Structure 1
């Protein structure tokens, strides 16, 4: 599948917006685990 630069950028932003909350949540859990020890 061939994507134009604009389509690739939009797709990248969609993927990033879906993945970043998961990464933030993982960092948040890690921070809580470190602070609770």
Structure 2
């Protein structure tokens, strides 16, 4: 089964929430520092 964030039948809000929950702290920080 693919992750919820890859399921295009789900709402954007659910997909974003799922992706953010799976990200590590380091990945969150990297997103803040990216151009």
TM-score by length of 1: 0.33
Higher relative contact order (CA 8 A, sep 6+): 2
> TM-score under structure 2 normalisation?
0.34
